[in-house]
Amino acid sequence: MISLQTRLRLAIGGAVLVAVSVSLLVGAYLVRRSLERAAFSGLQRQVGLLAHEDVRPAPGQFGRFLATQDERLSVLPKQQARLLLPDSPTGRIAINERDYLYATQDIGPDVVVLLRTASSVRSESKPFWVALGAAGGIGCLLAVALAAMLGRSIARPVLRVARASRQLAEGSQPEALPVVGASELRGLSESFNTMAGQLTRARDAERSFLLSVSHELKTPLTAIRGYSEALDEGVFTPERAVKVIRIEAARLERLIADLINLARLDQQRFDIYPDTVDLVEIARESAARHAARARDLGVRIQLEQGRCASARADPDRLLQVVSNLIENALRCTPRGGTVTLATAAGELKVKDTGPGLASDDIPHAFDRFFLYRRYNNERPVGTGLGLAIVRELAQAMGGEARVAASPTGTEFTISLPLPKTRDQLDALHAFTAS
Ligand SMILES: Nc1ncnc2c1ncn2[C@@H]1O[C@H](COP(=O)(O)OP(=O)(O)OP(=O)(O)O)[C@@H](O)[C@H]1O
Ligand SMILES: [Mg+2]
């Protein structure tokens, strides 16, 4: 298959060569004509001079007087000249199979005839033909160079787009294309860059959501496994274990629905269904969820309840948030330590008696993999995704996640919007009813 660049080079080179050839042919025709005209007018001038000279030859046959290798001069009676020569005072004539150019001048009853061999005229014009040939050769070389340059400059941006598209199709992120050249090529590069950016963002969002959902599947599974083991060992009553297992199975179902929606490409982040939630209830459920694991690790989970602790949030998603924080706290707190869940209006805190975080960790604590990379070698770590999911979910519910730490422990705070007051609800109902 011929490449675009070769095609363009052939097309441009061919077009320029045709143009150069046509110009050369026209040029050659015009040069030939003007050389012949110059030769005839030279002959005419010469014969005119000779006609008035005293050295004029006597009338006689062609070539009897003043014959040189290339020229012959004769004086003929008009009658004879009319028989031998065409009517015109200048022209071409063949004598003994040799071509001549001639010019005539009447002098009384005679005609002076000057003949010049066509070959001598041709040899005089040789330098013109050489110059014309050289110009043609240079023209052809320029045509080839121009075709190569133009072919390359037009094909290069297209080839760049083709290469970048291939990279994009293979799943890698191509570098942004330079926006240069003619307006059409600039437009092509710009559109490609926009498309590649959108595709990469969509792909990243999908990958990130897939990671988050898969990550969140761990928590209910761990709770189900912990409770079933504890049930086996007879640590918890069957009623308590079955209740937790049933709730966790329902949560697994919601996460699997997230995965199905992701596969259908109509969801790229956790969906949120806000409701008025009781944070004390959420804290209690979270503690129950992790009770089996806390017992294994020898860490106590305690609840510190405020008076009014309602907020507006999606209860399942909030449970995901608190679970992530409790999981971290349990993993990082030494045996014998305590994890405290404190609630207040629109606020839920997870405090522990673990090793804490350095002050310069605080601004980046919720960045994906930041703390994971930092403490990978000195603390038990998971996959490094949990805190990023905590922040994403807290923000999606209209709240925020914060952290404060000291060498004696860490305190994560989730702030959430407060539920609408009775007055606000009444106003809302009145508005929607009107
Ligand atoms: N309460 C805490 N006390 C001390 N260090 C913590 C605490 N919470 C988190 N960290 C540190 O921050 C790191 C990142 O936490 P994050 O929840 O983002 O990921 P992870 O727990 O390592 O893995 P994952 O949650 O994805 O299973 C943890 O590995 C841990 O080193
Ligand atoms: Mg974690």
354: domain CATH number is 3.30.565.10
Q: Where are the alpha helices (DSSP H) in 125-182?
A: 126-169
- Alpha helix (H) residue ranges in 170-182: none
Higher pLDDT, 279 or 181: 279
Q: Do residues 427 and 321 share a domain? A: yes
Do 217 and 322 share a structural domain? no
Confidence of residue 82 (pLDDT cuts 50, 70, 90): confident
Contacts of 409 (CB under 8 A, 6+ apart): 351, 352, 353, 354, 356
Residues 203 and 318 in one domain: no
- Tell which of 106, 130, 154 closes a domain: 130
Are 289 and 418 within one domain? yes
CA distances from 147 to 13, 133, 134 (A): 5, 21, 20
395: pLDDT strictly greater than 80: yes
* Residue 243 pLDDT greater than 80, yes or no: yes
Determine the average pLDDT of the residues in 67-81. 81
- Average pLDDT score, the chain: 86
**Domain annotation covers residue 166:** no
Report which ligand 1 atom has the smallest distance to the Cα of 365.
Answer: 12
Residue 404's region, left for phi above 0, alpha for psi from -120 to 50, else beta, is beta
| CA proximity to 397, closest of 322, 312, 319 | 312
Mean pLDDT, rounded, for 245-260: 85
Domain count across the chain: 3
CB of 372 sitting under 6 A from ligand 1: yes
226 or 416: which leads in pLDDT = 416
> Is 343 inside a domain boundary?
yes
Residues 279 and 265 in one domain: no
Domain end: 130, 146, 167, which one? 130
- In the chain, the percentage of residues whose pLDDT exceeds 90 is 32
Nearest protein Cα to ligand 1, atom 1: 329
pLDDT at position 59 is: 58
From 271, 291, 325, the end of a domain falls on 271
Q: Is 98 inside any structural domain?
A: yes
Type of residue numbered 102? Y
Query: Which atom number of ligand 1 is nearest to the Cα of residue 354?
Result: 3
Average pLDDT over residues 29-55: 83
Are 73 and 98 contained in the same domain?
Answer: yes
Q: Do 115 and 230 lie in a common domain?
A: no
Containing structural domain, residue 48: 4-130
Cβ of 355 below 6 Å from ligand 1: yes
> What is the rounded CA–CA span in Å between residue 402 and residue 411?
8
Q: Over the stretch 283-312, which tens digit does the pLDDT of each residue have?
A: 999 999 899 899 999 999 999 976 778 999
Chain centroid to CA 246: how far? 50
Q: Which bound ligand lies closest to the C-alpha atom of 353?
A: 1
Does 281 lie in the same domain as 398? yes
Whether 136 maps to a domain, the answer reads no
Gyration radius (Cα) of the chain, Å: 51
Q: Dihedral of the CA atoms 119, 125, 126, 127 (nearest 10)?
A: 160
For ligand 1, atom 9, the nearest C-alpha belongs to 328
Q: Per-residue confidence at 62, pLDDT binned at 50, 70, 90?
A: very low
Band the pLDDT of 112: cuts 50, 70, 90.
Answer: confident
Q: How far apart are CA 151 and CA 425, in angstroms?
A: 70
Say yes or no: 264 and 316 in one domain: no
Distance from the Cα of residue 404 to its chain's centroid = 43
- For residue 137, the CA-to-ligand 1 centroid distance in Å is 76
Contact 343, 279 (CB under 8 A): yes
Comparing 89 with 349, the larger pLDDT belongs to: 349
Is 164 inside any structural domain?
no
pLDDT at 219: 85
Q: What percent of the chain has pLDDT over 70?
A: 93
Residue 36 backbone dihedrals phi, psi, to 5 degrees: -65, -40
Q: How far is the CA of 332 from the centre of ligand 1 (A)?
A: 8
The answer to whether the CB of 311 falls within 8 A of the CB of 419 is: yes
**Residues 125 and 61 both lie in one domain:** yes
Ligand 1 pocket test, pick from 371, 379, 393 with the greatest ligand atom count within 8 Å of Cβ, gives 371
The reply to whether 411 and 299 lie within a common domain is yes
Question: Domain with 251 in it: what CATH number?
Answer: 1.10.287.130
Does residue 236 lie within any of the structural domains?
yes
Same domain as 417, residue 430: yes
pLDDT tens sequence across 305-337? 767 789 999 999 999 999 999 999 999 999 999
